[in-house]
Chains A and B, each alone.
Chain A
Amino acid sequence: MLNIILALFVFQPIEVHDYDLENGLKVLIYEDHFAPVVTTQVHYRVGSAYEPSGLTGISHMLEHMAFKGTKKYGPREYDRLIEAAGGTINAFTSLNRTVYYAHLRSDRYELELDIEADRMQNLVIAADEFAPEKAVVMEERRLRDNDPYYSLYEQLNLTSFLYSPYRNPSIGFMADIERFTRDDVLAWYKKYYNPTNAIVVVAGDVDPVEALRLVKKHYGTIKGRGAEKLTFYEPPQRGERRFELEKNVMTPVLGIHYHTVDIHHRDFHVLEVISMILSYGLSSRFEKGLVRERGVATTITTYHSALQYGGSFIVLAMTQSGISVDSLEGEILREVERLKREPVSDRELDKAKNQALALSIYEQDSPAGIGLSIGWWEIESGAWENMNRYPEEIQKVTADDVMAAAQKYFTRDNRTVGHLLPEEE
């Protein structure tokens, strides 16, 4: 009982000022007055999951071109302006999102609102900037090809997802990068960059009334052009898939993928807890049992991601020298099987829940961190408010839930296994 009272007390819901402008722009403002800093972020609902065959990587290419000049500011001028103000600026592209953000002293954050409003409407995507930037992106693609661990991860997704665009690498395939034109990128920009398809997040030392006024000033007159709602679901996997990849590595690496659930499914929280049990911290089953005690791996990590249209549970492990990848696979699968057979103890379950809950608090420890979380929940789950339900849902997970979820998702038929092996001489 004390635990529940404490949990309710500790996990205070976060308060976000939530506005919808007439042009469809969602504005989310969060106050954090710990330091005179404001993060300003624009999250677009577009990423590699939106890309049809032939155009993979185009969202990422657009992200590059979005720093290459508008009618108002020249190429890389955004960087120079933010740096001159003592701020930092960056961007990233993922499956469902393209995000631009800057962190600035709180009396200077209007600069980023101005820059992002300009970026939303006025990109030039000039031909003379496009060709060299495409060469840069192609070089980035080559670097990925040379990175054996990335290659394993990419191949794992390509083998696991046969239909869903969640198979797409955000960098894109080389053939597509070579193929798409400046006009393709411009059309992509026109289609997806508009207020209706965007979220502005302002987090930090702000007066919410003033912040809303500034957002309206810069974005209020931009015309909304609608948003595209995707729906796609990967058909169930029917049978184990396996592959081998030979690359320039010293020791073999193992990857295992299981299809899981989208973010709205109740098992999302159960899988979060399972991920903690298996690999979070030095006392987790993989780290304590397989890395330290049995010495079969140097690192083992699990990634659980539940997004709008499906989820993945991935295990990546690097073999200890002298241990074959087959025997490491056997050891890992034995641990996974154990989850299906033996209920986790109360103590281990509580630890995993406490870790998940504490992490959700730690992630809020900077305006940048909480701003990115708010945007993530808004886009992936459809409403930022869902992040406030997270602690409660984690608390509800039982040992039976853990066993049932392990039995349901960690099956042979739902599994894809990849071995990254040293090239044979």
Chain B
Amino acid sequence: MKILCSVLLFVLCASATTIERDTLPNGLIVLTVEAHKLPMVVMRASIHAGSVFDPQGKEGLANVVSQMLLRGTTHRTTDEIVETVESVGGTLSSFADEDYAGLTGRVLSKDLYLLIDLVSDCVQHPRFDSVELTRLRREIVSGIKALADDPFAVSEREFRQLIFHDHPLGHFPEGFDSSVAQINVTDVQKFYDSFYAPNNGFLVFVGDFCRDSLIDILSETLSSWERRVVHAPDIPDPTARSTTVGKIIPMEISQAYILLGHLGPKYGADDWQETRVMNYVLGGAASTSRIFEHVREKKGLAYIAYSYFRRYKTGGYFMAEVQTKNEMANEVVQIVLDEMRRTQDTIGVEELQRAKKFYTGYFPLTHDSYGEMADVVFHIEIQHLGLDYLSRYEQLIESIRLGDLKGAAQKYLHPDRFYLLIVGDVKPDDIDIEEIEWLE
């Protein structure tokens, strides 16, 4: 009956791309974007239970907990969970990032209530079976070990540790092979009990459904999931070291991976759009950024040269990366530092215009499918961007002035104090930087 009901509702509902936000009686927030171009729905269930809450020595726990949600409930075995969603051609998987963890799913719209029922079971009644946990740990550890020889993966992980050292952003959500191996059922249960509450998360639905009936069904299905007090650990802002710090990971490869950066703004910074546009000029634009053009001028130095700011709820960082021949490492480091300084000094009007044209053009491409729209809505919620963000975006970009970019460059670029990580066949003496402290 529910199926037919949803089919009929799909016919009767009007189409409009607006984001709605409702709160269920148990505190669970529901964000919806109704659209009817295709008979499918994408869902994302997110709990504020990301890897920054991993206890020390148990790095990777948040990720393990989210994956264990699909490894058996008190009502269903792992196989039954998989069979239920796949029997209707749907998909359901877990995710864990630094801030949030949870489940994402995709079904034809006629099967939406099946998905809701399944997700409701998985988030409320996980079984945390020790045999399943042992199997999962083994899978994760072998995945981590498989990356040990990949210079790109090594450079990214090492850089994060270097820049955040003992701050919880210093590890990736997967954790370390040694720490994942330490995670037991008690850890999983404790973490789950601490964070998995309806008032500590939100759902996103994008696609072919009718919001009113969806909210009714959710209220009914999830009513047994009770609100409770959640004590999120207080995560302090990361602190920078007082000197420039370098580290070299020796690896016999022809191309060195050079990562240079420092701490940056976290979510919520007022001048984020300005900062992003400034970075477009510096190293964000694929083939026209200053770093890319400067590196390319010196023919053959590198194919890959870019920079970005990455942000989370509890911290963020700036990073420039160049992959180049080992013997060019010093030259590339000097180029990146030169361009950071030059960006603090001058940015041209035409560069600003070019960046604006890029961002106003690129933005719609980031949410032209239900799947991508669900991701954008997720970010709108966690960054408090406002439900009118999609319509406000162009104005946000167009209102940026040249002075704003300069301000952002001076505030958020630090060419005088940074972290440098090199993976490759390079020695500290090859790099010409005054007052750098090399770590072993």
Contacts and interface: CB of A to CB of B under 8 A. Distances in A.
A345 to B, nearest CB: 12
Contacts of A367: 368
A34 B79 contact: no
Contacts of B82: 281-283, 288
B40 to A, nearest CB: 5
A364 B39 CA distance: 10
Most B C-beta atoms less than 10 A away, residue of A34, A80, A86, A358: A34
Contact of B360 (A86, A282, A365): A86
Contacts of B3: 6
Which among A10, A32, A288, A359 has the greatest number of chain B C-beta atoms within 10 A?
A10
A262 B106 CA distance: 31
Q: Residue among B37, B286, B364 with the most chain A CB within 10 A?
A: B364
Given A6-B7, A86-B357, A358-B90, 12 more contacts: A9-B7, A35-B367, A37-B368, A80-B287, A83-B286, A83-B288, A83-B358, A88-B365, A281-B82, A288-B79, A347-B87, A361-B40
Contacts of A83: 285-288, 358
A355 interface: yes
Interface in B223-281: none
B131 to A, nearest CB: 12
A6 B110 contact: yes
A323 interface: no
A87 B360 CA distance: 10
Interface in B46-96: 79, 82-83, 86-91
Interface string B359-386: 1111111011111110000000000000
Contacts of A104: 361, 365
Given A12-B39, A365-B370, A35 B364 contact: yes
Interface string A367-378: 111000000000
A106 interface: yes
B361 A80 contact: no
Interface in A70-127: 76, 79-80, 83-88, 103-106, 108
A52 interface: no
A35 B285 contact: no
B118 interface: no
Contacts of B89: 351, 354-359
Interface residues of A, number: 47
A365 B365 contact: no
Residue in B87, B90, B288, B373 whose Cβ sees the most chain A Cβ within 10 Å: B87
Contacts of B364: 35-37, 105-106
B12 interface: no
B86 A361 contact: no
Given A76-B287, A350-B87, A37 B365 contact: yes
A368 B369 CA distance: 9
A389 interface: no
Given A365-B38, A365-B371, A367-B368, A105 B86 contact: no
A255 interface: no
A365 to B, nearest CB: 4
Nearest to A347: B87
A273 to B, nearest CB: 12
A68 to B, nearest CB: 14
Nearest to A364: B38
A105 B360 contact: yes
Q: Which of B3, B360, B361 has the most CB of A within 10 A?
A: B361
A85 B372 CA distance: 20
B13 interface: no
24 contacts: A34-B35, A34-B368, A36-B364, A80-B287, A83-B286, A84-B358, A86-B359, A86-B360, A86-B365, A87-B361, A103-B365, A105-B362, A105-B363, A108-B361, A281-B91, A354-B89, A355-B86, A355-B89, A361-B40, A362-B40, A365-B38, A365-B371, A366-B369, A369-B369
Given A84-B357, A361-B39, A204 B362 contact: no
A281 B82 CA distance: 8
Contact of B365 (A105, A347, A351, A359): A105
A308 B18 CA distance: 43
B107 interface: yes
B357 A358 contact: no
B363 A86 contact: yes
A354 B88 contact: yes
Interface of A: 6, 9-12, 32-37, 76, 79-80, 83-88, 103-106, 108, 204, 281-283, 288, 347, 350-351, 354-359, 361-362, 364-369
A102 to B, nearest CB: 10
A101 to B, nearest CB: 13
Contacts of B189: none
A417 to B, nearest CB: 26
A359 B90 CA distance: 9
B285 A358 contact: no
B334 interface: no
Nearest to B367: A35
Interface in B192-247: none
Contact of B17 (A12, A34, A79): A34
A357 B90 CA distance: 10
Given A37-B368, A204-B368, A105 B40 contact: no
A351 B361 contact: no
A159 B359 CA distance: 49
B392 to A, nearest CB: 15
A84 B367 CA distance: 19
Contacts of A85: 357-358, 361
A104 B358 CA distance: 10
A104 B354 CA distance: 15
B108 interface: yes
Interface in B25-53: 35, 37-40
B287 A86 contact: no
Nearest to B83: A283
Contacts of B86: 281-283, 351, 355
Nearest to A6: B110
Contacts of A347: 87
A34 B365 CA distance: 11
A85 B355 CA distance: 9
Given A76-B287, A84-B357, A282-B86, A361 B38 contact: yes
A358 B365 contact: no
Contacts of A88: 365
A354 B87 contact: yes
Contacts of A366: 368-369, 371-372
B107 A358 contact: yes
A32 B37 contact: yes
A37 B357 CA distance: 15
A87 B362 contact: yes
Nearest to B285: A83
Interface string B89-119: 1110000000000000011111000000000
Contact of A365 (B88, B357, B369): B369
Contacts of B88: 354, 358
A248 B51 CA distance: 36
A321 to B, nearest CB: 9
A385 to B, nearest CB: 19
Nearest to A12: B39
Contacts of B360: 86, 105
B368 A10 contact: no
Contacts of A356: 89
Contacts of B87: 283, 347, 350-351, 354
A29 to B, nearest CB: 15
Contacts of B357: 84-86
Interface in B167-189: none
Q: Which of B3, B35, B369 neighbours the largest number of chain A CB atoms within 10 Å of its CB?
A: B369
A31 to B, nearest CB: 9
